[in-house]
Structure 1
Amino acid sequence: MSVVHPAGPAADAIAKLWWVMLIGATLIFLFVMALLTVAYRKNAAGVRDHKLERIWIVGLGICFSISILAALLAYGLVVGERLLPRPAENVVSVTAVGRQWDWSFTYADLPGRTTERVLHIPAGRPVDVSITTTDVIHSFWVPRLAGKLDAIPGHRNVLRIEASEPGEYAGVSSEFNGKGYHGHYFSVVAHDAEGWSAFLRGESR
């Protein structure tokens, strides 16, 4: 469930954004601490150097912090834009329907097939998950594969996920939705090419 151990390109972009924002926030924090030190510092004669204080406060306290925050904002907007689903080859389409307190999944490539609490996808291919709900608001989240997206009654949101390698990845509904919320989880099984073909033939559950 760790967002800093990504297993797909979307999650990798989110993890990098997290580290960049952590580094930026740390730099701002360190400079603020330095400014506090300068604010209380006195020169050898026991008098504060107000000119030096102004340089630190305006030059570093304001300009530096605004520059870092602006850079982080710009980087975050660029990453967010890149995560939006776009037309691509070999995209797999599935539908995720949330309810208290379960998830069911249907597959465009396998009409009539529904799985409960387990989403099957091919590894190494983008998957567009059309997310909705039959009752209250839920939130679809597989931390190691992509960001989270709300499931809203009467509406469909599309989230693109992708697993770089075959495996099983934990998912959870990250929106409080009642007494059964603590057990509202699911898993994503990413198959290799042979396993995905077997799933489409109905030979895998």
Structure 2
Amino acid sequence: MFPSVNPAFRPFKGLAAVTALAGCGGPFSTLDPAGPAAQSIATLWWVMLAGSVVLFALVMVLFGFAFLRRHPSWNSDRPVGQALVLWGGLVMPVAVLSALLGYALFMGERLVPRPDDGVLRVEAHARQWQWEFAYPDTPGALGTIDILHIPAGRPVDIHVTSADVIHSFWAPRLGGKIDAIPGHTNVIRLVADRPGTYHGKCSEFCGTGHTVMGFTVEAHDAAAYSARLADPQGQTRRTAPQDTASD
């Protein structure tokens, strides 16, 4: 028998549960996807969680088995004990981990941007401590600072580079993250399922201004996208995004 929980600590159990659940939401939650790339990442996370639960259960079974073997009534010569250790401690973990690895490679391969008709090019240039975006595929588009405009429902390849140190481009609800490296260009593909505003940030410590190096992604419908980029008003956001969902 395990000792009972001190009554003085019981209120903290509910607080811990609420805190854990609250971490699954918010503008930077990868578990609240708003695009196919982010959906693939969220699905992979849930699959990995399920696999870890299976492995944890196996470890607990073997842990209990180790205690049972010490009981006087247990016959240590029983073949079932060796079979349990073999299958539960070796065969099953190898099978589960191999399946998880295969699924992760399959999902990761789907996230790699490949040449495709209709993909829009946007350039993201990082510097301490802001993001500069250019739109070479959109005639008449003005560059933006800390605001990335994309058309909803259309794939966009973000060509990411840096002017000084290593930064990292990350819009959690739209896709994964990719490093911005001086002298090198990395590409990440984003798709927003619907119009809305999504938050992003630099996820690589880049100096004293790292905490304010955020940006917003504004997804527009096709009719409003070009007009929005040609509007000189509101093309710069110099404050950090608020921790509230806005889509």
Shorter-chain TM-score range = over 0.9
The 3-state SS of whatever aligns with 2:142 is strand
Match 2:110 to one of 82, 104, 124: 82
**Equivalence for 2:21:** none
Structure 1 portions without partners, runs of 5+: none
Q: Distance in 2 between matches of 1:88 and 1:156?
A: 19
Match 1:38 to one of 46, 50, 65: 65
**What is the root-mean-square deviation in Å for CA atoms of aligned residues?**
1.7
Contact 2:113-2:157 within 8 A present in 1 as well: yes
- Residues 46 and 70 (structure 1), Cα distance of their counterparts in 2 relative to 1, 3 Å cut: closer
Matches within 5 A, 1:177-192: 177-192=206-221
Read off the aligned partner of 1:152 and give its amino acid letter: I
Q: Distance in 2 between matches of 1:105 and 1:118?
A: 7
Matches within 5 A, 1:16-95: 16-42=43-69, 45-48=73-76, 51-95=79-123
- Residues 168 and 17 (structure 1), Cα distance of their counterparts in 2 relative to 1, 3 Å cut: same
The 3-state SS of whatever aligns with 2:68 is coil
Q: Distance in 1 between matches of 2:67 and 2:81?
A: 9
TM-score normalised to the size of structure 1?
Answer: 0.94
Percent same amino acid at aligned positions? 47
The 3-state SS of whatever aligns with 1:85 is coil
The 3-state SS of whatever aligns with 1:130 is strand
Match 1:138 to one of 150, 167, 170: 167
Match 1:100 to one of 119, 128, 147: 128
The 3-state SS of whatever aligns with 1:113 is coil
Contact 1:123-1:166 within 8 A present in 2 as well: yes
Q: Distance in 1 between matches of 2:54 and 2:121?
A: 42
**Superposed displacement of residue 193, structure 1:** 1.5
**Superposed displacement of residue 88, structure 1:** 2.0
Structure 2 portions without partners, runs of 5+: 1-27, 236-247
Q: Distance in 1 between matches of 2:223 and 2:74?
A: 77
Deviates more, 1:38-47 or 1:189-198: 38-47
Contact 2:141-2:229 within 8 A present in 1 as well: no
Runs (4+) off by over 6 Å: none
Higher strand share: 1
Alignment length, in residue pairs?
A: 205
**Equivalence for 2:19:** none
Read off the aligned partner of 2:200 and give its amino acid letter: G
Contact 1:110-1:200 within 8 A present in 2 as well: no
**Superposed displacement of residue 89, structure 1:** 2.5
Deviates more, 1:87-96 or 1:135-144: 87-96
**Equivalence for 1:14:** 41
